[in-house]
Amino acid sequence: MRTTLPAARFVQLVRRVAGVGLLACLSFGVLVALPGEAAPGSTATTTAPSCGSTVFRKPDGTRWRCTFADYFSGTSLDTRKWTVMTSAASGFGKRQDCFMSSKSNVLVTKGLLWLTSRRAAPFTCGRGSRAFTARATSGMVSTMGKFAQDYGRFEFRASFPYTTQEGLQSSLWLWPQGATGAMWPVTGEIDVAEWYSSWPDRVIPRLHYATAFLLPRAATNNRCLVPNVRAFHTYLLEWTPSSITISYDGRTCLRNTSWRTLGSAPFDKPYFLAMMQALGVGKNPPTSRTPMPASTMIDYVRIWS
C-alpha cells in the first residue's frame, strides 16, 4: 500500500526550546481535498462511528457526540480515514530518518496500529533538491484531507517505546486545516502528547500560538510524569471555544483559558490529527546506541464533538 500526495505540500516545523529542552516535531502544509477523498472537515466513512457506550458531557452539561473512531481491528490501515505520510511526497526536510509507506513502518495487526522506526543502510530519501541521505525509516499517519474538526474531545490510547538512550520521539498532535507553516506559531498547533527519549519518564503537551511566551506555564507542562510509558495510557484533549484541557489517564496535565484573551485566537478552526514514531532532532539526536526498531502502538483513536 502506498499513498502519496503532491510534492511540497508540507514544511518542516521550526525547532523550539521549552522547559527542559528542545521540543521538535514536523508540521503539515496546505490541507486540501484530494481526488476521491472527503472534503476537509468530514469523514469518508458511510456508517456512524461508535465511541463506546460511556456518555461523556461537556462543561455545560450537554453530551459529547461521537464523530470519529478507529480501533484498528482490521488487517490493514483504513485509508478512508488515514493517509500514510512519506518524505518522498511531502518535502519534510532533511532528517536522519525517512518517512515511508511500508508495512515495516506502518502496520495494523492484532488490534493495534504500529508506527515503527528502523535502522537502514544509508539510502537517498526524498526527491530533487529535497533529497538527502537517511540512515533509518520511520512511520507517520494523518487524517489530512479526510477528517478535521474544530473543538471536541480527542482521545488516544497509546504505548510509547521506552529507553534512556536519546534519539527517539513519539507524537500525537493536531495541526490546523489549511495552514502552510509559514505563519507558525500564529496559526496554532496542539501537541496532545509528545514523548522524547532524552526525557523518558514524562510525556509533554504543548500549545503553540503567537502569545504563548507571555504565559509559558499555560502553553506547556514538562513535568507530567508518566509511569512506564511502554504501557498503554489514555491521552485526552478536551477543546472548547474557551478552554483547552489535556489530561493523561484522567489526570490534568495542562489547562489553558488564556490564549484568546491575549489577542491570539488560532484555536477556533478545524484541525486534523497526526501520529508518528520518528527519530529525534535537536537536543534529542539519534546515536549508535539509540535502540531500534522502536514502535509507538495505538490501540484506538476516538473523537467527539
For residues 304 and 157, what is the distance between their CA atoms, to the nearest angstrom?
Answer: 15
The Cβ-side half-sphere exposure at 286, using a 13 Å CA radius, reads 22
Confidence of residue 221 (pLDDT cuts 50, 70, 90): very high
Q: What is the mean pLDDT of the chain?
A: 84
- Is residue 37's pLDDT more than 50? no
* Pair 32, 7: CB distance under 8 Å: no
Q: What pLDDT is recorded for position 193? A: 98
Confidence of residue 31 (pLDDT cuts 50, 70, 90): very low
Q: Hey, which CATH number is domain 16-46+73-300, 2.60.120.200, 3.30.450.20, 3.50.50.60, 3.40.50.10420?
A: 2.60.120.200
Residues 6 or more apart whose CB falls under 8 angstroms from that of 262 comprise 211, 214, 215
Q: Which of 40-44, 90-94, 107-111, 124-128 has the lowest mean pLDDT?
A: 40-44
Backbone angles phi, psi at 25, to 5 degrees: -150, -175
Q: What pLDDT is recorded for position 265? A: 74
DSSP of 106-164, one letter per residue?
A: EEEETTEEEEEEEEEEEEEESSGGG-EEEEEEEEEEE-TTT--BSSEEEEEEEE----S
* Pair 26, 281: CB distance under 8 Å: no
Q: What pLDDT is recorded for position 1? A: 33
Residue 26, C-alpha cell as written in the block: 514536523
More confident residue, 95 or 300: 300
Q: Where are the domains of the chain?
A: 16-46+73-300
Task: Say what percent of the chain tops pLDDT 70.
Answer: 83
Q: What is the pLDDT of residues 71-96, one digit of tens each?
A: 999 999 999 999 999 998 876 778 99
The residue among 278, 274, 277 whose CA lies nearest residue 301 is: 274
